[in-house]
Amino acid sequence: MSDSDQKQRRISTLLHKKEILLDALKNKVDHWQNNRIKMHVKSLSPACRSCYRGSSIDININHICSRKCFYCPVPVLHNWKPYVALEGVKVDKIENLVDLLRKFNIKVVSFSGGDPLLTFDLLEKYIRAIRQEFHSSIYTMVYTNADLLTEKRAQFFGEIGLDEIRINLSGRNFDMMPLKLAKKYIKRVTISSPVVPEEKEKMIDAFKEIDELGIDHINLIELMAAEYNLKNLKERKYIMKNNTAILDSEVTFYEILHHALKKKTKTPIHFCTADYKAKSSRQTRNLRYSRYAQGANESITPIGKIRQIFRRIETGRKVVIPAKKFSVNTDEQIYLQYYNTYVKEVPKTHKGKKIEINKDFYLATQKKPSKKMVLQGTLMLLLFQLLFIENKPVGEIVSHILIKYRHLVQDEKDLFENLITFYNQFDDEEYFGEPQLFSKQN
């Protein structure tokens, strides 16, 4: 059998398994979220609850690690000079970080790396500064492989009031000792591990002890491909769903969850998917910075994307239409462009638009197009206006079109189908989060 036939066979087997498992889990998992792209059983950690609201920030306290996990998506190189970064922006001065947290009203700060415990002095300095400036109004969290979690350090975390520690159980080959130590001192202890298909049995076997230890949450992360782990993932012949997520990892999660529910595991379990991670990190960044990057007559969608609606005049020139002035002109062609917003540090003398964080720390915004669309035809234009500009409820849209524009559709079913297709075209641009109108799989 050729390589490609073997691959096809593996894909069919995995998809079939996924269907069976999802069917078995159907009535047992009630917390599907964000248009059914992630799920959890029982409670979610406060940090996970706030992750897509724009008020949480992840700080890479360094870029070094004591491990070399094959799935690691970040460039952790040994002997790298540690530097503190936030979404690619270096924040080497504590006062700059403090002012930035204040400016954007940040409520959750997570420290990761590499492994933040490798530069413990630096980590300690940043946590102390946050506690001193914001007391308990900012939720703090540390992600670590726990190689360097000593009793003294766990005690420090407890005393300073660290809200949560996340330990990668897979990084230390399912060694439970660091969890026991963390539980002695730290308010909330979460297992945060990737779902590695080859480690399925170890994870299943660990549930009993996890329950006994009283671990607060199990956060299982779908394996995702990135520049730095792609070669390793390919060597294992995993199946990629869409250039990033790994199907083998997703199916393994459903198997693990199935076992956990059968064994009546008490610890809450959350599955953080690659799709969700990518969307939520874009959303938080956009919600924070888009209003500073917004151009004249552009609008911002509920998930923070900059929306540009425009028509082209004879010369081909763009004329941007403010969302509030958009109205349906039946034979018109309307163009849409959506943008993500990025920031970078710039000097005070920077000429373009900038966000002043304090007297010597400035960020400049950049916009990158994420989607271009052309809308044509009365029904499409109407749906765009009613759904995304006027945010009308579905019932109202249906009756409005059936009464005033009856000739555009055959019947109510036809209209409803058009509505769903149209709505789903804007996935990731106009909405993300709890489904507002439809669930994709309904």
In the complex with ligand SF4, the residue whose CB is nearer, 168 or 283, is 168
Q: What is the DSSP letter of 386?
A: I
Outline where DSSP puts E strands in 151-279. Answer: 164-167, 189-194, 217-221, 269-272
Of the ranges 43-51, 67-75, 334-342, 389-397, which one interacts with ligand SF4 (CB under 6 A)? 67-75
Query: Quick one: tokens of 360?
Result: 């010597």
Minimum gap (Å) between residue 50 Cβ and ligand SF4: 22
Residue 168 engages ligand SF4 in binding (rule: CB under 6 A):
yes
Considering beta carbons, is residue 221 or 387 the nearer one to ligand SF4? 221
The type of residue at 12 is: S
Residue 389 interacts with ligand SF4 (CB under 6 A): yes or no = no
Please tell me whether residue 72 binds ligand SF4 under the rule CB under 6 A: yes
Closest approach of Cβ 74 to ligand SF4, in Å? 6
* Rounded least distance, CB 114 to ligand SF4, Å: 5
Between 94 and 133, how does the x/- string for binding to ligand SF4 read (CB under 6 A)? Answer: -------------------xxx------------------
* C-beta separation of 265 from 203 below 8 A: no
Among 37, 51, 57, 65, binds ligand SF4 (CB under 6 A): 65
Close Cβ partners of 439 (under 8 Å, ≥ 6 residues apart): 32, 35, 36
Helix axes 200-213, 247-262, angle to 10 degrees: 40
Least CB distance to ligand SF4 at residue 219 (A)? 13
Could you tell me which residues are beta bridge partners of residue 341? 367
Return the residue of 45, 60, 96, 145 that touches ligand SF4, per CB under 6 A: 145
At 278, list the tokens: 């990518």
Residue of 431, 437, 433, 438 lying closest to 50 (CA atoms): 433
Helices 120-134, 94-103: axis angle to 10 degrees equals 40
Binding status of residue 409 toward ligand SF4 by CB under 6 A: no
Residue 245 engages ligand SF4 in binding (rule: CB under 6 A): no
Of 25-33, 60-68, 80-88, 276-284, the segment contacting ligand SF4 by CB under 6 A is: 60-68
Angstrom distances, CA of residue 350 to CA of 28, 345, 356: 55, 10, 11
Residue 67 makes contact with ligand SF4 by CB under 6 A: yes
Phi and psi angles of residue 191, each rounded to the nearest 5 degrees, phi first: -90, 125
Contact set with ligand SF4 (CB under 6 A): 65, 67-69, 72, 76, 113-115, 145, 168, 171
